Chains A and B, each alone.
Chain A
């Protein structure tokens, strides 16, 4: 493999930053959630790249665990969004201001 590992890390950093911008800019709770998924994937990519660089599979195992945790997180998060939508009829995070005074 002749591609420098740093290129993968730069792609990973770019994806993570795009995900961060998505979380900050968007108002739709579902799109914010998708941006968080993008950030998780960026970190996974960095882990696999480091695993390749060090010739050690531990990074890939950690990515595997990260995917399991992400799946569990998606299930709970989407259930919360469905629940909020059922009570407030909205998926817009600006409308969820019950705790504000």
Chain B
């Protein structure tokens, strides 16, 4: 059994198992930790697919930055509140699972009809597409063919940063909900000036 097969059969079940555990985990922090493990296994699958640069980016950006942001917000929002067990639509949970299984079946059928389960990737990817190393080859494609989209993403990131600052900024004039919350015990207890 070749090595990439072994790696795939070790990490693909972990990936699916952690994804299922993430969805059915009641505690949001535990769900986030399962998702981090899942991102690591996806990174390893990138490595099997000869994409070492994306392997590194996946770990740094997803398992690192994005999940730290998630955990930070979970701590900020509060982890002690349990999810309510009141079902507004009693058929929603089984219905969602049935539809999910149907989605898997449909995609598997599409893959079977499209490329088949025997199609293997062409050999010598490292000598052809990844010539000179994956990051160098990737940067050639990125900066020659997709330079304008690359520049547009910088605008997107700046807009996202400004949007986060505007949205998370606490304004001087407080809202009705905050005034109500303050009446019953205070939002954060840090406001000292009198209400306008």
| A residues with CB within 8 A of B | 1-11, 13-22, 24-28, 30-31, 33-35, 37-38, 41, 44-45, 48-49, 51-53, 55-58, 60-61, 63-65, 67-76, 78-83, 85-92, 94
Q: A24-B99, A45-B45, A76-B163 are in contact. Are A9 and B28 (CB under 8 A)?
A: no
Count of A-B contacts judged by CB separation below 8 Å:
262
| B residues with CB within 8 A of A | 2, 4-5, 8, 12, 15-16, 19-20, 22-23, 28, 31-32, 35, 38-39, 42, 45-46, 48-51, 53-54, 57-58, 61-62, 65-66, 69-70, 73-74, 76-78, 81, 83-84, 86, 88, 92-93, 95-97, 99-101, 103-104, 107-108, 111-112, 115-123, 125, 128-130, 137-138, 141-142, 145-146, 149-150, 153, 156-157, 159-161, 163-164, 167-168, 170, 175, 177-178, 181, 187
The DSSP consensus for interface residues of chain A is helix
Q: Which residues of A contact B177 (CB under 8 A)?
A: 87-89
Question: Which residue on A lies nearest to B49, using beta carbons?
Answer: A52
Q: Which residues of A contact B159 (CB under 8 A)?
A: 72
Pair B108/A81 contact, Cβ less than 8 Å:
no
Pair B125/A89 contact, Cβ less than 8 Å:
no
Most buried by A among B2, B49, B112, B137: B49
